[in-house]
Amino acid sequence: MSKAIDFLLNEWNSYSRNIQITIYVLLGFTALFAIFGIQILFWGLGYTNMNNIFNMGLWILGDMGYVALGGGAFFTGFMLYIFRVDKLQPLINSTVLIGFMCYLFTFVLLVFEIGQPLRAWFGWAYPNWGSHLMPQSMLTEVIWCLTFYFMILFIELFPIILSHKVLDKIPALHYIGHYLHKLMWIMAAVGTFLSFFHQGSLGGGMWDIMYAKSAWFRPHHLYFFVAIVAATAGGTCLMMLIPRIAQWVQKKELIPKESFMKLAQISGTMFIFYFLIRVFDIYTQWTIALPLFDRSFTDIMSGSMYGWWVLVIEFAFTISAIVILNFKKFRENDRLFTAGIISGVMAILMMKFRVIMHGYSVPNFPWKPYMTYSPSIQEWALLLGSIAIMVLVYMWFAKYIPMFIQDEEHHDVQHSQ
Share the mean pLDDT of the chain: 86
Whether the full predicted model's pTM is greater than 0.85, yes or no, is yes
Phi, psi of 361 (to 5 degrees): -70, -30
Confidence class of residue 144 from pLDDT cuts 50, 70 and 90? confident
Are the C-beta atoms of residues 295 and 214 closer than 8 Å to each other?
yes
Confidence class of residue 417 from pLDDT cuts 50, 70 and 90? very low
Q: What is the pLDDT of residue 251?
A: 84
The residue among 352, 361, 358, 290 whose CA lies nearest residue 102 is 352
How many independent structural domains does the chain possess?
1
Q: What is the mean pLDDT of residues 312-335?
A: 96
Task: Give the range of the structural domain holding residue 140, as residue numbers without chain letter.
Answer: 50-373
Higher pLDDT, 292 or 202: 292
Whether 133 has a pLDDT exceeding 60, the answer reads no
Q: What is the pLDDT of residue 320?
A: 97
Residue 88 maps to a domain: yes
Identify the burial level of 8 via C-beta atoms within 10 angstroms of its C-beta, where 0-12 means exposed, 13-18 middle and 19 or more buried. Answer: exposed
Measured between alpha carbons, how far is 113 from 68 in angstroms, rounded to an integer? 18
Are the C-beta atoms of residues 317 and 350 closer than 8 Å to each other?
yes
Residue 410 maps to a domain: no
pLDDT digits (tens, 9 = 90+) for 349-364: 999 999 999 999 999 8
Whether 116 has a pLDDT exceeding 90, the answer reads no
Residue 13 maps to a domain: no
pLDDT digits (tens, 9 = 90+) for 49-74: 988 888 887 888 888 899 899 989 98
Amino acid letter for position 337: F
pLDDT digits (tens, 9 = 90+) for 234-250: 999 999 999 999 999 88
Q: What is the pLDDT of residue 129?
A: 62
At 356, which CATH number?
1.20.1630.10
Residue 32 maps to a domain: no
Among 33-42, 212-221, 311-320, 343-352, which stretch is predicted with the lowest mean pLDDT?
212-221
Residue 297 maps to a domain: yes
Whether 168 has a pLDDT exceeding 80, the answer reads no
Are the C-beta atoms of residues 342 and 248 closer than 8 Å to each other?
no
Q: What is the pLDDT of residue 416?
A: 39
Among 43-47, 278-282, 353-357, which stretch is predicted with the lowest mean pLDDT?
43-47
pLDDT digits (tens, 9 = 90+) for 177-220: 777 777 787 888 887 777 777 777 777 777 888 888 889 988 88
